[in-house]
Amino acid sequence: MRKYTTVIGLEIHAELLTETKIFCACKNTFGDAENSSCCPVCIGLPGALPVINHRAVELTVAAGLSFGCEISRYTVWDRKNYFYPDLAKAYQISQLYAPLCIGGGVTVGGRFIRLNRIHLEEDAGKLIHSRGGVKIDYNRAGVPLIEIVTEPDLRSAEEATEFVERVRRTLVYAGVSDGKMEQGSLRVDANVSVMPEGTDVYGTRTEIKNINSFRFIKSAIEFEAARQSELIESGGRVVQETRRYDEASGETFSMRSKEDAHDYRYFPDPDILPLIITDADVEKIASGLDESPEKRLNRYAGYGISAIDCETVLANKIIADFFDAVVAGGIEPTEAVNAVKGELMRCFNAAENKDGLPVSAEDFIKGLKLVAEQKISRNGFKESVNHMFFERKSLDAVLEEYKLVIKEDRGLIDGAVAAVIAENPKALRQYKDGDQKVFGYFVGQCARLLKGAAQMSTIQAVLKEALDKA
């Protein structure tokens, strides 16, 4: 069998983080009671008129700037006509002829993957299939959605997966989308074709619709590329069509023949005025953008943090923002990364709610400074972060409640030191014979007995004095 190269182009749909929907004042939320966030506009009642939500336009421009796109200064809206029960007015307001963002790209593993465009449109409602029949929830109808369309530059399922992760991360950092694939905020359509290795003529492509997890992107593309190359090898021909990925079987199935733009009878929407975007508008949006993950990566590398640690911190913006706050609070970056990676992320990974952190950076910094001053032990710090995180208490409250501050009770320390020396005559002899290494053993035994009730430096000093006298 000949070898084949896989050619992939993606369409990534990302819901925007606006307060309200794109053409009405309904709330843009996830998980509310079915059809509780709807109005005549978003369910398409006759005579209801749409009004553009400018925040959605700003976020689309922010996405475009993050990917180095050219921002259109004049944009219009088109009606894409088709009938489906989740689309009550039988057309979707989208942008075919004048998308908001043009060009741009994302570098993945050293290769530049070109974007064709990013346009803004409205999401459709959601069909809920159950045994009793099909229900329709229109809460999602009219949620602002951007579609990021790539050129067919991706060459493997892994590369496509990595690309989507990069795009997701950039959108989250720019505050454009929450990027939650499990809630459908980010959905991927993959256009896949194959061509014999060494040739450069693209084969016929199929489109796999609505892939909703990173794992499925990889397996769906791999299955489809293998299916096409086997088909060609056995003398068959790939048909241009839309396919569905079945998660249970790991296979793709034909849904319908692929439609072209003219099938949708696009025409300019007469209800919405064209939009003019000025240089000042673009500059304002650019100046409000948070530092991109790529820029943060460079900054972190300058701190002397390992590449793996940089990726660990950057993988979640909540963690990265917290890390930045800890460094800004005067903690050495290498110390901060260890503490964030260790104490904080242990709790974060175990937490159910990952929408925020219940520990303030101020308390975290204060705790680390107390460790440096030997007022609490490292273990005491770890314990206090755990209590702060899961009991939602302040550092002061936790230190008080769990008695984590080192007391430095001299009588207690003297007693522990005497007891440890008395219990270890053999080690004492070794020490007296000049074996310095055994000192560490004594320190460890005393620390265990004192359980954080004394500073390390005090234990060492008292112990040294006692050993020399013994």
C-alpha to C-alpha distance for 114 and 69, rounded to whole angstroms: 10
CA-based end-to-end distance of the chain: 83
Least Å from the CB of residue 53 to Zn ion? 11
Which residue is listed with tokens 């997966």? 161
Question: How many helical (H) and strand (E) elements, i.e. helices and strands, does the chain have?
Answer: 16, 17
Six token digits for residue 25 = 């004042």
Instruction: Using the minimum distance from each CB to Zn ion, give the nearer residue, 26 or 62.
Output: 26
Determine contact, residues 26/40, Cβ cutoff 8 Å.
Answer: no
Closer CB to Zn ion, residue 53 or residue 191? 53
Q: How far is CA 280 from the centre of its chain?
A: 30
| Closest approach of Zn ion to the CB of residue 17, in Å | 17
- Minimum CB–partner distance for residue 75 and Zn ion (Å): 22
Closest to Zn ion by CB, 142 or 203: 142
CB closer to Zn ion out of 37 and 229: 37
Give per-residue burial for 16-27: e unless 16+ CB within 10 Å, then b.
bbbebbbbbebe
Fill in the DSSP letter of residue 343. I
Task: For the CB of residue 148, give the shortest distance to Zn ion in the complex, in Å.
Answer: 25
Residue 130: CB minimum distance to Zn ion, A: 25
What minimum distance in Å lies between the beta carbon of 42 and Zn ion?
3
Question: Measured from the CB of residue 90, what is the shortest distance to Zn ion in angstroms?
Answer: 17
Contact 293, 173 (CB under 8 A): yes
Q: Is 444 left (phi over 0), alpha (psi -120 to 50) or beta?
A: alpha
Nearest to 161 by CA among 3, 8, 313: 8
Tell me the C-alpha distance between 348 and 200, whole Å. Answer: 47
- In the structure encoding, which two tokens stand for residue 416, read together? 């522990």
Task: Give the interface with Zn ion as residue ranges (CB under 5 A).
Answer: 24, 26, 39, 41-42
- For Zn ion, which is the closer residue by CB, 24 or 446? 24
Q: Which is nearer to Zn ion, 47 or 110 (CB)?
A: 47
Rounded to an integer, what distance in angstroms lies between the CA atom of residue 352 and that of residue 217? Answer: 25
DSSP string of 45-87, one letter each residue: -TT------HHHHHHHHHHHHHTTPEEPSEE--EEEE---TT-
CB of 318 to Zn ion, least distance (A): 30
Question: Closest CB to Zn ion among 26 and 305?
Answer: 26
Q: In angstroms, what is the minimal distance from the CB of 133 to Zn ion?
A: 25
Which is closer to Zn ion, CB of 5 or CB of 37? 37
Nearer to Zn ion, 41 or 101 (CB): 41
Quote the CA–CA distance of 151 and 467 in Å, as a whole number. 74
Q: Would you say 27 or 464 has its CB closer to Zn ion?
A: 27
Minimum Å gap between C-beta 26 and Zn ion is 3
Task: Calculate the alpha carbon distances from 25 to 53, 142, 281 in Å.
Answer: 9, 10, 23
Cβ proximity of 18 and 193 under 8 Å: no
Would you give the DSSP letter of residue 212? -
